[in-house]
Amino acid sequence: MRRGGARRTGVALVLLLLALLAGTFVYGLREAVSPPLRREARLALPGWPRGTPPLRVALLSDIHLGNRAMTPARLHAIVASVNAAHPDIVLLAGDFVAGRRSDGATAKAAALSAPLSRLRAPLGIVAVLGNHDYWTDPGAVRAALAKAGVTVLANQAVARGPLALLGVDDAFSGHDDVPATLASHVRGVPVVLSHSPDVVHKLGAGFPLVLAGHTHCGQVVLPWYGPVTTRAPLAGWKPLYDPRYRCGLVQSDGRRVVVTAGLGSGTTPIRLGAPPDWWLLTLGPRR
């Protein structure tokens, strides 16, 4: 009797554990596909032109179209919510498609065009690519973005209103070139847009604001533990990012770094403790 009771207890514990795991997965999948949070901040930038009104900047990243957490229909809904905020400019910080291999990447990229072409902003839509875009088919991603009317920067700068947007290519996949970006000599208040926040380590003084994604804010973050994954199994287990820039608005070395959690998810289509989000930033003069 005792042996049978112990066996039944063991089976019950295993079933309970499996139920907890299944419940956690379902909850994580629901969080991954939930409507993204809109986070807001008002930031004063040095050198803002006198008499120029503040600018509303939407920052989106990590769409990862092609896995279960991001479909064209969901992306259409997100675009509608961004348009409802009436941004002056929309910035896209890379990782438009999911996966690492080029198989199916062309179709994934092509599906970006219709939703992103609906984005509306007077100063346009500007983007940089991310590591997953380079791991799959960067040419197809660029073509899809161009079809949607998106300006893609690759270690280049462009003027938009009072801003000098410096689009530094992805540091995680080794495509960044800060000197080449600075060689563009664009006038305006400098704002750096890059996929990985780790580009911060390659910037000198004079760059008060960096906008990035890549981290997913940890994607799966457990209480009392933190992010489950901090290294990249698809890239030789190297660190995914500097933990100081995992999430949100960070003040560091005299500059502000804004890291969005992103809209989609990585290889595993779940999120826990790191819901999808995008940022609406109001940039303007010091008071």
Q: pLDDT at residue 173 above 80? A: yes
The span from the CA of 89 to the CA of 84, in Å, is 13
End-to-end CA gap in the chain: 78
pLDDT at 20: 57
The span from the CA of 256 to the CA of 283, in Å, is 12
Are 176 and 197 spatial neighbours (Cβ–Cβ below 8 Å)? Answer: no
pLDDT at 184: 85
Domain that holds residue 123: 33-284
pTM of the model: 0.91
| DSSP state, residue 122 | T
Q: Which residues contact 74 (CB under 8 A, 6 or more apart)?
A: 33
Number of helices (H), then strands (E), in the chain: 7, 16
The answer to whether residue 219 is domain-embedded is: yes
The answer to whether residue 158 is domain-embedded is: yes
Are 284 and 237 spatial neighbours (Cβ–Cβ below 8 Å)? Answer: no
Provide the token pair at 83: 């348009």
**Window from 18-32, 120-134, 144-158, 202-216 with minimum mean pLDDT:** 18-32
The answer to whether residue 1 is domain-embedded is: no
Q: Which residues contact 164 (CB under 8 A, 6 or more apart)?
A: 157, 158, 186, 187, 188, 189, 190, 191
pLDDT at 12: 58
CATH number at residue 115: 3.60.21.10
The answer to whether residue 154 is domain-embedded is: yes
The span from the CA of 98 to the CA of 271, in Å, is 15
Predicted confidence (pLDDT) per residue in 8-53, tens digit: 665 556 655 655 555 555 555 688 889 999 999 999 999 999 999 9
Q: pLDDT at residue 2 above 60? A: no
Q: pLDDT at residue 1 above 60? A: no
Predicted confidence (pLDDT) per residue in 44-80, tens digit: 999 999 999 999 999 999 999 988 899 999 999 999 9
Number of structural domains in the chain: 1
SS3 109: helix
The answer to whether residue 145 is domain-embedded is: yes
The answer to whether residue 17 is domain-embedded is: no
pLDDT at 266: 80
The answer to whether residue 18 is domain-embedded is: no
Predicted confidence (pLDDT) per residue in 104-127, tens digit: 778 888 999 999 999 999 999 999
Percent of the chain surpassing pLDDT 90: 68
Gyration radius (Cα) of the chain, Å: 20
**pLDDT band, residue 223 (cuts 50/70/90):** confident
Please state the rounded mean pLDDT for residues 243-252.
94
Provide the token pair at 60: 């989106």
**pLDDT band, residue 5 (cuts 50/70/90):** low
pLDDT at 239: 86
Q: Can you say whether the dihedral through the CA atoms of 85, 88, 91, 92 is positive or negative?
A: positive
Are 102 and 138 spatial neighbours (Cβ–Cβ below 8 Å)? Answer: no
Please state the rounded mean pLDDT for residues 193-212.
95
SS3 152: strand
Are 46 and 164 spatial neighbours (Cβ–Cβ below 8 Å)? Answer: no
Predicted confidence (pLDDT) per residue in 254-272, tens digit: 899 999 999 999 878 889 8
